[in-house]
Structure 1
Amino acid sequence: MPRPRTPVLWQAAVAAVAAGAAVYALTRRRFPPLTTVPHVDLHRYAGQWYEIARLPQRFEQGCTHVTAEYRPMADGKIEVHNTCHQDSVNGPAETVRGLARVVDAKTNAKLKVQFQWPFEGDYWILALDEDYRFALVGTPDRKGLWILSREPQLSHPALANLTEMARQKGFAVDRLIYTQQPEAA
């Protein structure tokens, strides 16, 4: 006796669920949960940082000699001043001011930064030199990535190490833009 045929819709539903599960599994394998450093002393993190490299960002288009300055405030927030020189390190400077707030008080490594109300962006500290000389900062969706240094240039070994770390965390490091900075004095 012939077996009854499974309805086409049922087969399509099973195929859709299987495809969705496969995509989810591939995404999870491709992008494991993003981890941050175990702890950040925000007072040591404060001060000026030079952008060494970044993934392309619309708001940084044409920027060179990019710096960020962080200043802890009495209310626990962090004042942020980002500066970009258009077209060259001697070009006109544009500065934007914002506020950051800690969203993970256990580590201080996950922040939300706001430059224009009501919009906030993720700022996760993914790697940090023990002497706070350089850092790797990114966003959990892996669309934002910055390599920062206390000096305008970063040694090749440190840069290579941070780039490889970012690659292993799932960032598209082949798209990095290396920020022109003034030569060290």
Structure 2
Amino acid sequence: MRVLLLAIMVMTLGGCQSHRHDPISLAENVDIPRFMGDWYVIAHIPLPPERQAWNGIERYDLNDDGSIATTFTFRLGSAEGEKKRYTPTAWVTDDPSNAVWKMQFLWPFKADFRIIWLDDDYQTTIIGRQKRDYVWVMARQPEIDEKTYQAMLNFLKQEGYELSDLRKVPQQW
């Protein structure tokens, strides 16, 4: 039931937000195998189930059929809180950038997810949506330096994101 609610929220809540209609930027030429692995969620405009997330980690694994197994884990409310786990599947839907994905939490609904920032070393990324309603600032380590974080926030502002709902995700291991 929670997965159903999450899928419905992803698909419908974005329509309630005001947003720019300009195309959102995309990372160029994402090397999918290199992108796989663990990403710590540093900050986000969260979906309702993740509003109290701590120690959030998004993991991507490439399946034999080309789909991407996604595992999002976090602790609810504190570093010792209840462990939550979501396992949607993603498909890359553009070529050649590999930056536009469809994420499926529940069949048959697929949500728009886009890699809009990716540094050359594959150490920081931003996953956004064309609607600019949700966003995830992520890194390979549980912390990033303030200069990098501010550059990512400035990028989001330039892309038309309203950052008043952005929440830093506590990473306390």
- TM-score, length basis structure 1: 0.80
Q: State the partner residue of 1:58.
A: 48
Is 1:68–2:32 an aligned residue pair?
no
Please report how far the alpha carbon of residue 101 of structure 1 lies from its aligned counterpart in structure 2 after TM superposition.
0.1
Q: Decide whether the 8 Å contact of 1:31 with 1:169 is kept in 2.
A: no
Q: State the partner residue of 1:154.
A: 144
- SS of 2:49's partner is helix
- SS of 2:59's partner is strand
Please report how far the alpha carbon of residue 32 of structure 1 lies from its aligned counterpart in structure 2 after TM superposition.
2.4
One-letter code of the match for 2:164? D
Please report how far the alpha carbon of residue 31 of structure 1 lies from its aligned counterpart in structure 2 after TM superposition.
4.4
Q: Decide whether the 8 Å contact of 1:46 with 1:70 is kept in 2.
A: yes
Q: What does 1:17-166 align with in structure 2 at a 5 Å threshold?
A: 30-166=20-156
Query: RMSD value over aligned CA atoms?
Result: 1.5
1:121-164, CA deviations, whole angstroms, 9 ceiling, x for partnerless residues? 11100110111000011000000111000001111011000000
- TM-score, length basis structure 2: 0.85
CA distance in 1, matches of 2:95, 2:163: 29
Please report how far the alpha carbon of residue 59 of structure 1 lies from its aligned counterpart in structure 2 after TM superposition.
2.5
Please report how far the alpha carbon of residue 93 of structure 1 lies from its aligned counterpart in structure 2 after TM superposition.
0.7
1:2-52, CA deviations, whole angstroms, 9 ceiling, x for partnerless residues? xxxxxxxxxxxxxxxxxxxxxxxxx99x54221201110011100000000
Number of positions where the alignment pairs a residue of Structure 1 with one of Structure 2: 156
1:87-118, CA deviations, whole angstroms, 9 ceiling, x for partnerless residues? 11221211111110011021100001112112
- SS of 1:157's partner is helix
1:65-91, CA deviations, whole angstroms, 9 ceiling, x for partnerless residues? 111000011111100000021111221
One-letter code of the match for 1:100? A
Q: Decide whether the 8 Å contact of 1:31 with 1:170 is kept in 2.
A: no
Q: Decide whether the 8 Å contact of 1:69 with 1:82 is kept in 2.
A: yes
Unaligned runs of 5+ in 2: 1-17
One-letter code of the match for 1:139? R
Q: Which has the higher contact order (CA 8 A, sep 6+)?
A: 2
Q: Which runs of 4+ in 1 moved over 2 A?
A: none
| Greater C-alpha Rg | 1
Q: State the partner residue of 2:7.
A: none
- SS of 1:106's partner is coil
Please report how far the alpha carbon of residue 176 of structure 1 lies from its aligned counterpart in structure 2 after TM superposition.
0.6
